[in-house]
Amino acid sequence: MEESLKCLRCGHEYKISADPKRKVMERVCPRCKSNSVRKIPLKK
Amino acid sequence: MNSEELRIGVFVCDCGLNIAGSVDTEKVRESAEKLDGVVVSVRNKYTCADPGQEEIKRCIREYSLNRVVVASCTPRMHESTFRNCVAQAGLNPYLFEMASIREHCSWVHLHDREAATDKAKDIVKIAVSRARLLQPQEETKIPITDKALVIGGGVAGIQAALDLADAGHQVYLVEKAASVGGIMAQLDKTFPTMDCSICVLGPKMMDVGRHHQITLMTYSQIEAISGYVGNFTVRVRKKARYVDETVCNSCGRCAEVCPVVVPDEFQQGFSSRKAAYIPFPQAVPSSYLIDMEHCLGNSPITCGKCVDVCEKDCIDLNMQDELVDIDVGVIIVATGMDVYDPTALDEYGYTRFENVIATMEFERLICGGGPTEGKLVRPSDYQVPKRIGFIQCVGSRTEDKGYPYCSNVCCMNTIKDSLLINEHYPDTEVFVFYMDIRAYGKGFEDLYRRSKEEGVHYIRGLPGEVIEDPDTKNLIIRVENTTTCLVEEHELDMVVLSVGLKPSDDLKHLTGIINISQTADGFVMEAHPKLRPVDAPTPGIFFAGSVEAPKDIKDSVTQAGAAVARASILLNSGTVHGDAVKAVIDPEKCPSCGLCARVCPFGAIEVDVKAKTGARVIAAACAGCGACAAECRFEAITIQHFLDDQILAQINAALEEEPEKKIITFLCNWCSYAASDMAGISRMQYPPNNRFIRVMCSGRVDEHFILHAFKLGAPIVLLSGCHIGDCHYSSANHWTMKRADRLWNRMEKLGIRPERLQLEWISAAEGPRFAKIMHDIEDLRQKVTQEEIERTKEVLAVEKLTHLGSIEEPSVAS
């Protein structure tokens, strides 16, 4: 399963593999290093 | 209290030219005088000094002040000073508020006096708006457990444990290795006195082992720490030694019969030990243990010889790790440092050439208790080297392969080693290749001079590489002598890499379970580098030795004494004042949904969901992060001293004039606020548009605070806190992240660009990053149009600003 993320600082969009059991991790934009990374909700 | 009864005094500090140099403090004073409720506004040269404090007390009496605002430095510096000051004048200390116009203003806007002055006026206005709504609070007195935990059994930890125990306190000394002693136990001699290291340390090791006030837990590891100053509960894993240390009499029969031979770590691999072994002859406790990783005896059929020969019957190959919970009032962290591994520096051939060794290997070779019994030989042919070269700063003062800082002890250690060589082998020539020799301590320069007088060659220049002659195994060094500007070539029998020191690998483990932060160099961060150098930012935790920065033995012992003095103040007082910042639940509003209990990282809220009797806060356990209040969907929880109304009033004040130019930034007290202070102290310049609101934890920032700011016309809101994993309230900031996700979705639905809410985790050490973020956020602000702001205001004018809340756990993300 993948999660879509979008950096709200630089606009970079990327995906990561999601594991609901994994401990809470810090989100960091791989491009600009901002933490303003939004998890894009799945469209219903 | 209504506004007519308010009598606020504002005291604006010049701080010499620190504030007045770039802020017109007279204009700030005049501006403050006009604010509602302010009855007196005074300007001081130095408000924190005695005359400044006397003036505050005089005004409290003369004007019957019931609120005091001081506009000066960061509250992290002098909040307690001024709280004590107003308390001495009879005012409840929680009726005091501070406006940081130095770190947040004058120091970061040095070249724009007008903008800095305008911002300072705003900062004071924000503080006064909060002061109007302050309420007196009573601090709770919490009894202190008169016991101390010392983590780390090197020289600093040993000294700290002994001093505390001698002062009459019960001490637990936890050491990960099988013996106390640390790195000092492996050294031959110590500088500048050239006395035998283990001869100095050995008696102290024995003292901690037999002191009736010290419980020594070696081969043990900290698993978890909970609680707060005065009342910590620590879980220690006592790893199985497979030998009962209380019975073992160190006869050594087990090692004699043990068939397993492995390299001896204590001797740096120059000799071997058995799987049944004692770490070194002077080990404390003086007990053997079994290295189960290499032991064959899990099944006695395979081996079990040690069990058969043990007369004391103290070997148990089925022994299990033991978990022990201990209660302590204070913690001293003395986990020391690690020695840099030069493997990465391939140019010096450490892994390729036998005769290239590192500092600790040299220490064992020259030591009488070492593998050669003190006979210095080179590894390739066991001959005494006639020409030895030391290369300094290996892994230190370099950005490339190693660490950028100076490791503090390497120069003096090499000087000491050069003298040892001269003493034992007067025919051996010693060359030291260096960039600077740092001999700054008492007796250090004398030792350096003596080394030069005895003929040690000091060559200013670091070689680019070391080449081996394959026939002789000699080492060729080519180096530019920067004193003579000549390139020299030296053929040496042996090269010693004078390696630097690095933060202990164990520190990462420890920072995961205890509220301590690391500075950029990886060592621990002090509460204040000058005024509280042995205190952690978290009350009740102190540092001793090289865990804070590389130190020699004398400094480590000195700092251990300082940490003990600080810890003893708490232990001797018997009680600690519990902060008044606590959650309070309104039973009328609480429907017993239980969310707050699940949000609380400290288990400080009890609720019976079925009985619907309302949630209850266990005051002693509540740390005051405020995450429960921010998540409660029924507005049933308030946080004393950080009330919703107080925070909303600050937002109102910040956005009263020209809101479109302002950025509202929420800073958590422990990390991002400290980072803003560091940016200020470092004079890092950034745009003046930010208005900071301090909360204890980012988890306190309610959704409706943020929406309220947008409703009033804020173009951007920045929410910032400790890094995930570093939160001073355990996991409270997980809820901040979840809330940000929720808000971004809600904003999108409302037609507000989610980009206008920014989230950043900033550690106390990240001043430069803080300043960069301020620039980035200002760039974002400039892209928000007035039309967009107006549209948002219209949307939010009809939107109910309470939050949506959630019953989900914090989301998983990367």
Domain boundaries, chain B: 1-139, 140-239+321-336+504-575, 240-320, 340-500, 579-640, 642-814
**Structural domains in chain A (count):** 1
CB contact under 8 A, A26 and B724: yes
The values of phi and psi at residue B145, to 5°, are -75, 120
Q: B441: which 2 tokens?
A: 């301590």
Parent domain of A25 = 2-39
Residue B805's pLDDT is 47
- In this prediction the pTM is 0.75
Cβ within 8 Å of B, A 1-44 = 3, 5, 8-9, 16, 18-27, 34-39, 41
- Residues of B whose CB is below 8 A from A22: 812, 814
Q: B340-500, what's its fold?
A: FAD/NAD(P)-binding domain (3.50.50)
CATH architecture of the domain with residue range B579-640: 2-Layer Sandwich (3.30)
- Residues of B whose CB is below 8 A from A8: 744, 754-755, 757-759
- Residues of B whose CB is below 8 A from A24: 724, 731, 734, 737, 810-813
Backbone region of residue A10 per phi and psi (left: phi > 0; alpha: psi in -120 to 50; beta: other values): alpha
Give the number of C-alpha atoms closer than 13 A to the C-alpha of residue A16, restricted to the C-beta side. Answer: 19
CB contact under 8 A, B745 and A41: yes
Nearest CB among B754, B776, B810 relative to A38 is that of B754
Residue A25 domain-assigned?
yes
- Residues of B whose CB is below 8 A from A18: 812-813
Residue carrying structure tokens 């501006």: B31
Contact B410, B393 (CB under 8 A): yes
Contact B101, B124 (CB under 8 A): yes
Nearest CB among A8, A26, A39 relative to B723 is that of A26
Distance of CA B315 to the CA centre of its chain: 40
Q: Give tens-digit pLDDT for B673-684.
A: 999 999 999 999
Sort strands B96-100 and B38-44 into parallel, antiparallel or unpaired.
unpaired
Contact B30, B48 (CB under 8 A): no
Give the closest residue to B321 by CA, choosing from B213, B388, B400, B239. Answer: B239
| The two domains B140-239+321-336+504-575 and B340-500 share their CATH topology (first three levels equal) | yes
CB contact under 8 A, B758 and A26: no
**H helix or E strand, kind and range, residue B638:** strand B637-639
Sort strands B276-277 and B289-290 into parallel, antiparallel or unpaired.
antiparallel
Contact B632, B596 (CB under 8 A): yes
Q: B592: which 2 tokens?
A: 């017993």
Contact B208, B173 (CB under 8 A): yes
d(CA A33, CA B3): 46
Low-confidence ranges of chain B (pLDDT < 70): 1-4, 298-301, 801-814
Kindly report the length of chain A: 44
CB contact under 8 A, A35 and B761: yes
Closest CA–CA distance from residue B668 to any residue of chain A (Å)? 15
Angle between helix B703-711 and helix B732-749 axes, rounded to 10 deg: 40
CB contact under 8 A, A35 and B810: no
Closest CA–CA distance from residue B722 to any residue of chain A (Å)? 11
CB contact under 8 A, A36 and B814: no
Residue A33 domain-assigned?
yes
Residue A28 domain-assigned?
yes
Contact B757, B740 (CB under 8 A): yes
Q: Give tens-digit pLDDT for B579-610.
A: 899 999 999 999 999 999 999 987 889 899 98
- Residues of A whose CB is below 8 A from B725: 26
Residue A44 domain-assigned?
no
ipTM here: 0.96
Q: B196: which 2 tokens?
A: 């035998």
Residue A17 domain-assigned?
yes
Residue B48's pLDDT is 95
CB contact under 8 A, B744 and A8: yes
The residue among A19 and B204 whose pLDDT is bigger is B204
CB contact under 8 A, A25 and B814: yes
CATH 3.40.50 fits B642-814, yes or no: yes
Nearest 5 degrees, angle CA B679-CA B685-CA B690?
Answer: 80
Nearest CB among B724, B755, B780 relative to A24 is that of B724
CB contact under 8 A, B812 and A18: yes
Residue A15 domain-assigned?
yes
Q: Compute how many other C-beta atoms are within 10 angstroms of the C-beta atom of residue B659.
A: 20
Contact B661, B644 (CB under 8 A): no
CATH number for domain B140-239+321-336+504-575, candidates 3.40.50.720, 3.50.50.60, 3.90.870.10, 3.40.50.300: 3.50.50.60
Residue B685's pLDDT is 97
Which residues on neighbouring strands pair with residue B480, listed in sequence order? B487
CATH number for domain B1-139, candidates 3.40.50, 1.10.10, 1.10.1220, 3.90.920: 3.40.50
CB contact under 8 A, B812 and A36: no
Closest CA–CA distance from residue B519 to any residue of chain A (Å)? 19
Closest chain B CA to residue A43: B745
- Helix/strand/coil (H/E/C) assignment for every residue in B223-245: EEEEEECCEEEEEEEECCCCECC
CB contact under 8 A, B776 and A20: no
CB contact under 8 A, B737 and A5: no
